[in-house]
Structure 1
Amino acid sequence: MDTAPAPFRPPAPTPRTSPPSMLEMIRIIYRNPLELWGEPSYNQPWILVNGVGGPLIVANDPGLIRHVLIDNVKNYKLATVRQKVLRPILRDGLLTAEGEVWRRSRKAMAPVFTPRHIFGFAAPMLRRAELFAERYDDVDGVVDIAQDMTLLTFDILAETLFSNEIAAEPGSFGHEIERLFETMGRVDPLDILRAPDWLPRFTHIRGRRTMAFFRKIVSDTADMRIARMRKTPDDVPEDFLTLLLRAEGKDGLTRQEVEDNIITFIGAGHETTARALGWTIYCLAEAPWEREPIEAEIDAVLKAEPDPVKWLDRMPLTRAAFEEAMRLYPPAPSINREPIEPETYKTLKIPRGAQVLVMPWVVHRHRKLWDDPNAFLPSRFHPGNREKIDRFQYLPFGAGPRVCIGASFAMQEAVIALAVLMSRFRFDPVAATKPWPVQKLTTQPQGGLPMRVTRR
């Protein structure tokens, strides 16, 4: 008799069965855009509606997604509303820059994220994860895994890309990044209505102090490294920070662009991995039948293979759980584009200036693309199954020329962190573990992820 338990279905908004009023839609978009999507969004290849700010297309069909992000990418720019949210924070960082500025930045950063460099980060990733895990040795109770993963990924980022020379304390950083996303990381109602830029945004006013805090961190971090490069030019780490600063100059990046990219990686770069790690640990805690074989896999690999470079390939079950958590809770839940010229895809007419939304949140839960889409089933990503997934139905890191430059970095970091934590500890839900996914810049667990930590 088959006694396999029913799969765990983690919390998510129930699809709407009727469209919201305009006032309600603005309120939902500000509070939590994940609650906006209705039944058609999870069943149709695309949706075309007349939104508040003009035509709106929700693209779910993998062929249409490929068309927008790759085949006809030259006809698409970053969407206006998206830029109004992100540019005040990141300015000309890699996520928000366009045209020649984006090309210069991408070229300057590419050497850091080659396979050789990524493999070289494995040992410091392991070292930071092991040091971080020590804090649980004396824990006898509940911790907030969401907050802890923010601190862990900050530690890893600081050591690998900045050689521990970020001018910020991890504790204050974690608090301020949460405040930043709570204020400036949300869509302002005036942006939805496409109000003129001279009208002040309430969200931006609330976030000015936090934004100044991050800009000071960035400026101080760059100044510290420049001083070191001048004082001891032969004793400077060849890390992300050094490469960016060396790219500054007449034919490279401006000082402002350097700082914008530093804040992009300190802020948004680590936050996505932190959220994905937290959701993975949560889903496994609620599905112990999925956790047990992963613990066995981790134990076997750590016993036989000390080199963390090889763990990603040697731990397919661990990797699959992380990928499935990113399917259910995509770190970046929306990809927004805007056509420069009108065009047609099959029977869909795409007018100039339309908002084209590729929503990983929706695509990853689409009923025509996935079996039992709301269930946590890591087996989807096991070897033999992973290869059957269309490249454009699973988009945790985006796709096309603007695919996340740090995807390989994040995957290696995640598997190493999970291996270290899960080899030593078990994380279990408590009565207060009732997260609700909320879209800000990332998919965040409202209420945190309080969990009980015990020694294995």
Structure 2
Amino acid sequence: MDTRPQPFLPPAPKPRTTPPSFLQMVRIVYRNPLELWGEPSYNEPVIHIRGGVGGPLLIVNDPALVRHVLVENARDFRMARVRQKILRPILRDGLLTAEGETWKRGRKAMAPVFTPRHIRGFAGPMLARAERFAALYETRDGPFDMAHDMTQLTYEILAETLFSNEIAGEPEQFGDRVERLLETMGRVDPLDLLAAPDWLPRITRLRGRKALAFFRQIVRETMDMRRKRLERGEDAPEDFLTLLLKAEGPYGLTRDEVEDNIITFIGAGHETTARALGWTFYLLAHAPEQRERIEEEVDRVTASVADPYDWLAAMPFTRAAFEEALRLYPPAPSINREALQDFQWQGDTIRAGTQVLIMPWTLHRHRRLWDDPEAFMPERFWPGNREAIDRFQYLPFGAGPRICIG
């Protein structure tokens, strides 16, 4: 008789058994788009919908087709129009939303920022913030909101690594506006799905406009403060802002692109990291055996490995738990592309203009690809097991030329 504890089954929207009506779809898209997906999305490798509300749609849960779209033929696809409508008003020409030559130039200019040497330099400030934050729990009694706490911690680490906490105006106001902006950033509006004209206001994003204007003003003033300091030849922190400003120039980033990329890294990096940390702690709270294994590993490695930058490589069980949390709750639950030309897949013709939807949410829970896909099982990613996972069935950070840069 197997006496091992059963793996924890965390909460998730149940797959739909019937297609939603139009009004149901509008309500679901506003509330939680993950509730749209039915049983076929968790069972079939490819679903081709030729008469969708917003035009032809290809839902992809086949690792080989994921590779075809994101890697082998990436130049034949662009970010889907609906995703551009959602993100571009906020991020403009940031790396996430830029296309063509603007994206290529930005990616090349920012690559040096994410070298191991610079990332190693960020490890110390990150650790100091995390240790101060962890000490707060020693004085707390009763339950606490880990999601909120991880949002706060992630903001503090971003403020340190991006700006060395040298932010124009009141830093507390800046943090508040970040949270307000993130409440509306990336939210799908039903009008976007209907390909409505841009002049029609998107109610879901009206609330964020004032926060975005304030947010950009503070970023601009912070950039100007640092730029003047560099122009005077004064010492400046070798943080993310300094590295980006040094990438300015005729062959690098424009002034506006530096601003856009700071907004992008705050917006995309802040919320996704906070959510990933929050879910990891939640999952471990329900898996005491896994938690005890990780606690032992953390105690041992932090006592024996001197450089914090090298800790994660020496913590395979901790890393596995985090990777499993990213499988169950991927930071970007969908990757939207649009075919720029016709292509063939297994005898089916996919027409130019088709929206190609790669869903890490369903890909990571697909019943043909994973055993017990709904269960929290970090052992999937333990050494010796992880090698069996196809590179393109696990996409927490995307893949191909547009994979997350850092």
- TM-score, with structure 2 as normaliser: 0.96
Q: Which residue of 2 aligns with 1:144?
A: 145
Which amino acid in the other structure matches residue 248 of structure 1? E
Match of residue 77 from structure 1 = 78
Contact 2:110 2:247 in 1 (8 A): no
Structure 1 residue aligned with 2:56: 55
Match of 2:274 in 1: 274
Q: Secondary structure at the match of 2:306?
A: coil
SS across alignment from 2:260: helix
Question: In the alignment, is the contact (CA less than 8 A) between 1:59 and 1:356 conserved in 2?
Answer: yes
**Structure 2 alignment gaps of length 5 or more:** none
Aligned to 2:98: 97
* Corresponding position of 2:126: 125
Q: 2:37 — aligned with what? A: 37
Residue 367 of structure 2 aligns to a residue whose secondary structure is coil
Q: Distance in 1 between matches of 2:336 and 2:321?
A: 27
Report SS of the residue matched to 2:65: helix
Following the alignment from structure 1 to structure 2, what is the Cα–Cα distance between the partners of residues 349 and 192? 23
Offset at residue 170 of structure 1 (A): 6.1
Q: Distance in 1 between matches of 2:168 and 2:42?
A: 44
1:155-234 to structure 2, matched below 5 A, reads: 155-167=156-168, 171-231=172-232, 233-234=233-234
Q: Give the drift of 1:46.
A: 0.8
Deviations 1:57-110 (A, max 9, x none): 110000000000011111101100001111111111110011111112111211
TM-superposed CA distance for 1:125, in Å, is 1.6
User: Aligned partners of 1:283 and 1:315: how far apart in 2?
Assistant: 18
| 1:28–1:35 contact (8 Å) kept in structure 2 | yes
Conserved? CA contact 2:81–2:338, under 8 Å? yes
TM-score (norm 1): 0.86
CA contact (8 A) 1:124 1:160 kept: yes
Distance 1:181 1:122, change over 3 A: closer
Would the aligned equivalents of 1:158 and 1:164 in 2 still touch at CA under 8 Å? yes
- Residues 217-272 of structure 1, C-alpha deviations (whole Å, 9 max, x = no match): 211221121122133x2412233212222222333222111110011112211221
* Higher deviation after alignment, 135-144 or 184-193: 135-144
State the alpha-carbon separation in 2 of the partners of residues 347 and 250 from structure 1: 47
- Sequence identity percentage: 70
Q: Is the 8 A contact 1:331 1:396 kept in 2?
A: yes
AA partner of residue 164 (structure 1): N
Q: Indicate if the aligned counterparts of 1:65 and 1:392 stay in contact, CA closer than 8 A.
A: yes
| CA drift at 1:281 | 0.2
**Structure-1 separation of matches of 2:361 and 2:266:** 24
Contact 2:113-2:244 within 8 A present in 1 as well: no
Which residue does 1:154 correspond to in 2? 155
Q: Name the structure 2 match of 1:434.
A: none
Contact kept? 1:184, 1:203, Cα under 8 Å: no
Contact 1:276–1:329 (8 Å) recurs in 2:
yes
2:353 aligns with: 353
SS of 1:57 mapped into structure 2: strand
Q: Compute the displacement of 1:166 (Å).
A: 3.3
Q: Cα distance 1:172–1:51, how it changes in 2: closer, same or farther (>3 A)? A: farther
> 1: distance between equivalents of 2:365 and 2:168?
40
Higher mean C-alpha deviation, range 322-331 or range 243-252? 243-252
Greater fraction of residues in strand: 1
Residue 190 of structure 1 deviates from its aligned partner by 1.1
Aligned counterparts, 1:214-363, within 5 A:
214-231=215-232, 233-363=233-363
Change (3 A) 1:98 1:164: same
Per the alignment, residue 21 of structure 1 pairs with 21
The residue number in structure 2 matching 1:107 is: 108
DSSP-derived class of the 1:58 partner: strand
Q: How far apart are the structure 2 equivalents of 1:332 and 1:290?
A: 25
160 and 182 in structure 1: CA distance in 2 versus 1, 3 angstrom threshold: closer
2:355 aligned partner, one-letter code? Q
Q: Spell out, residue by residue over 1:268-327, the C-alpha distance to the aligned partner (whole angstroms, 9 max, x if none).
A: 112211110000000000111211111111111122223212211111000000000000
Query: Is the CA contact 1:86–1:185 (under 8 Å) kept in the aligned structure 2?
Result: yes
Following the alignment from structure 2 to structure 1, what is the Cα–Cα distance between the partners of residues 377 and 334? 22
Query: Shift of residue 175 of structure 1?
Result: 4.0
Once the two structures are TM-superposed, the CA of residue 169 in structure 1 deviates from its matched residue by: 5.8
1:398 corresponding residue in structure 2: 398
Counterpart contact for 1:151–1:171, Cα < 8 Å: no
Q: Greater shift after overlay, 327-336 or 178-187?
A: 178-187
- Mark the CA change 1:23 to 1:274 in structure 2 (over 3 Å): closer, same or farther: same
Does residue 387 (structure 1) correspond to residue 387 (structure 2)? The answer is yes
Cα distance, 1:203 vs. partner? Answer: 2.2
Q: State the alpha-carbon separation in 2 of the partners of residues 404 and 305 from structure 1.
A: 28
* Compared CA separation, residues 190 and 212, structure 1 to 2 (3 A): same
